[in-house]
Structure 1
Amino acid sequence: MSGTDVNMAARPQNDYNWSSVWLMAMRPKTLLLSLSPVLLAGLIVFGGSHPVDWIVFPIIILSSVSIQIATNLWNDATDASTGLDKASERLGPPRVTSMGLLKPWQVRLAAFLFLLLAALCGLYLVFIGGWPILLIGIVGILCAFGYSSGPYPISGSPFGEVFVICFFGIMAVMGSAYLLTGAWTEIAFWAGFYIGLPAAAVLVVNNYRDRIGDEQGGRRTLVIQIGPKAAKRLYAILLLLCCAGLVHLNSLIHPGTLSFVSLVVAGLLMIYSLAMPIRRFFLADTAPLQNRCLLGTSIFQLQWLAAFVLIMLAS
C-alpha cells in the first residue's frame, strides 16, 4: 500500500465517516479507466465528418462510471467473502468489507443499485443505438458480476488483460462513438484497442503485486502463468505499443500522409514512458511502490489522450 493507504488501513474503524467509507469502496482512482475511453470517443467524433448527438454524451459517461463502480463494489465484497482479501495481509488499497467497515450485503446492495442506474441509462442508450448497444450493455452487466465471482471469475484467469482491452478499450470507444454518430468506424476500433493497453497494464501491475497471495488462493492470472520477469516485459510492451499507436491513428485520420508531429509526439511519449512508468515498475520491489505504479499508469493513459489531442490539432 502507499503511505496514505497504510495510514487508512491502520486507523480505528470509528475514525471513518459514512462518506469516506463509501468513497473508499467505490475506488474513485479507478474511474479514469472508464472515463478515458468515452472521452476518446468524444474526441474522435468531434473531428469527424458525421453529425454528433452531444446530448447522449453525459448519459454514456454516467452509464460507464456506474458499471465501473458496481464492479469495484462487487469485487470488494466477493474477495472478502472468499477469503482472498484479508485486511491484515492486504497489499493493495484498503477494502472496506475486509476491514469490517461495511457488511458484504451492504456492499453488494450498493453494487446492485449502481447496476440499476447503469441499466436505466442503458434503456435510453438502447433507444438511441438499438440492439448493438443492448448487447454491449448486457455483456457489461454480466462482466461486472463475473469479474470476481461465479465458477470461473475473470479476475482469477489468464484472460483478465484481454478482457480489459476488449471491454474498457474497444467496446467502450466503438460503442460510445456509435451512440454519438450512428456510425461504426475503423478509427474507433483501433483507438479503443490502443487506449485499452494502459488499462491492461494497470491490471498487470495489480496482479504482479498480488501474485503470491493469488497463487496460494488458487488464482491463475496471466502474471502467474508467465512469471514476474515476463510480466514486467509485458507491461513495457503494452505502454510502448500504445505510444506507437498514435502514428497509426494519425494515418487513419489522414490516409496516405505521415505526420512529422505524430512521430515527434509518439517518440516523446515513448521516452517518457521508458523513463517514468516503465522504469518505476521495473524498480518497484515493494507493495507501496507498486501501488504508486497503478496511479502512474492511469495518469499515463490521460497523457496519451492529451498526445492524441495534439495530433488532431496539428493535423
Structure 2
Amino acid sequence: MKTNSLKAWIVAIRPYSLGNAVILILVGSALVWTDGSFHTLPAVLCLAFALLMQCTANLVNDLWDFLKGADQPDRLGPDRAFAKGFITLRAMKAGIIGFTLASAAAGIGILAWALHHDMLAWGGWELVAVGAACVLFAYFYTAGPWPLAYHGLGDVAVILFFGLVPVSFTYYVLTGTWTWEVIVTALACGLVIDTMLMINNFRDREEDARCQKRTIVVALGTRFGSWSYFLLGTAAVALCLTLLAGGRPWAALLPLIYLAGHVATWRKMVRIDHGDQLNVCLGETARNIMLFGALLTVGILLG
C-alpha cells in the first residue's frame, strides 16, 4: 500500500466503526422527530461532529496504541495504519489535528444554531464544556500519561461518549430539554456499542497483558469478559423494555430482534475463545450494533 495514500487513511479511520456514530444521531433525531422539534441543519451538524470525533479518536488510538506497544504489525485484529507503516508519524499527527479542527468547526456550528434559536438553558457554556470533554476523551482514551483504556476505564468512557452524550445532547440541542426516555435510549445505545470494545479486548487480552494495558478483561479474566459481552447486549434490550411505560411499544419491543443475533455471536465468541478467528465475531458485533440502532430508530418513529 502506498504510504499516506487515500487507501491508507481509510484503513486508519476504520470505516466499519463509523456506523456507531450514525446510529447515535439517528436515535436522538428520531426522538426529536416524534416530539415535533426536528430541524435538519443541527441534526446534520450533530452527525458531522460525531463522525469527525470518532475519526479523531480512531487516529489517536492508532498512533498511541502502537507507541505504547499494544499494536504491533502482527496484531490479531484488523490492520492498524501506523503499525503497518501505511502512514508516517508526521502525517498521522497532521491528520489528528485536522480532524480535531474539523470537529471543532462542526461544534461551533451546532452552538451557533442553538444560540440563534434560543435552545440552551445555560447560555451555551454547557455545549462548550461537553465539546471540550469529547475532545479530551478522544485524546486521553489512549494517549497521555494516564490513558483511560489502559486503566480499566475504557468501557465507562465508551458508554458515556458513545451513548449518553451524543444521543442526549442531540435531543437537547434541538429541544432545549431532556426526558427520561432520552436517557434510557442513550444508555442502551452505549451498552450495545460497548460490545465492540469488549470483543476487541477479549480477543487482545494476551497482547494487552504483555504491554500493561489493564482492560477489564485483563484485570478480571476471560470468563468475566465473555459474560460482560453477553450482559451488555441483554441489559440494553431490558432498558428498551422500560419504554413501554412511556407509550412507545415499538421502541420497546423491536430491539428484542437484536437479541437473537447478539446471543448467537456471544456463543460463537465463547466457542472460538482466542486467536484471530474472533475477528468474525467483531464483524458480527458491528452488524448487530447497526441492527439494534435501526430497530430502535424505527421503533421510536412508529411510536
Conserved in 2, the CA contact under 8 Å of 1:147 and 1:155? yes
Query: What is aligned with 2:190?
Result: 196
TM-score using structure 2 length: 0.90
Among candidates 57, 61, 71, match of residue 43 of structure 2: 57
Query: What is aligned with 1:23?
Result: 10
One-letter code aligned to 2:208:
D
Among candidates 52, 61, 68, match of residue 66 of structure 1: 52
Among candidates 200, 208, 223, match of residue 206 of structure 1: 200
One-letter code aligned to 1:21:
A
Indicate yes or no: 2:244 matched with 1:250: yes
Q: Quick one: percent identity of the two aligned structures?
A: 25
- Aligned-pair distance for 1:249? 2.2
Conserved in 2, the CA contact under 8 Å of 1:81 and 1:104? no
Query: What is aligned with 1:10?
Result: none
Indicate yes or no: 2:140 matched with 1:141: no
SS at match of 2:110: helix
- Aligned-pair distance for 1:292? 2.0
Per-residue deviation, residues 251-299 of structure 1 (Å, max 9, x unmatched): 2245xxxx4x66753544333432x222222222343332222221222
Among candidates 84, 88, 91, match of residue 99 of structure 1: 84
**Structure 1 stretch displaced more, 129-138 or 245-254:** 245-254
- Aligned-pair distance for 1:179? 1.2
> Following the alignment from structure 1 to structure 2, what is the Cα–Cα distance between the partners of residues 39 and 267?
19
Query: What is aligned with 2:117?
Result: none
**Structure 1 stretch displaced more, 76-85 or 226-235:** 76-85
Query: What is aligned with 1:116?
Result: 101
Among candidates 163, 177, 187, match of residue 183 of structure 1: 177
Conserved in 2, the CA contact under 8 Å of 1:215 and 1:224? yes
> Following the alignment from structure 2 to structure 1, what is the Cα–Cα distance between the partners of residues 64 and 301?
45
- Aligned-pair distance for 1:43? 0.9
Conserved in 1, the CA contact under 8 Å of 2:21 and 2:162? yes
Conserved in 2, the CA contact under 8 Å of 1:211 and 1:224? yes
Among candidates 69, 81, 84, match of residue 70 of structure 2: 84
Among candidates 272, 296, 305, match of residue 284 of structure 2: 296
Indicate yes or no: 2:246 matched with 1:271: no
Q: Relative to 1, partners in 2 of residues 1:273 and 1:96: Cα closer, same or farther, differing over 3 Å?
A: closer
Conserved in 1, the CA contact under 8 Å of 2:22 and 2:51? yes
- Aligned-pair distance for 1:98? 1.3
Q: Relative to 1, partners in 2 of residues 1:298 and 1:47: Cα closer, same or farther, differing over 3 Å?
A: same
Conserved in 2, the CA contact under 8 Å of 1:198 and 1:297? no
Q: Relative to 1, partners in 2 of residues 1:109 and 1:263: Cα closer, same or farther, differing over 3 Å?
A: closer
Aligned residue pair count? 294
Consecutive aligned runs of 4 or more in structure 1 exceeding 4 Å deviation = 261-264
Query: What is aligned with 1:33?
Result: 20
**Structure 1 stretch displaced more, 32-41 or 110-119:** 32-41
Q: Which runs of 5+ in 2 are unaligned?
A: 115-119
Q: Relative to 1, partners in 2 of residues 1:112 and 1:126: Cα closer, same or farther, differing over 3 Å?
A: same
Q: Relative to 1, partners in 2 of residues 1:174 and 1:313: Cα closer, same or farther, differing over 3 Å?
A: closer
Conserved in 2, the CA contact under 8 Å of 1:53 and 1:181? no
> Following the alignment from structure 1 to structure 2, what is the Cα–Cα distance between the partners of residues 98 and 264?
43
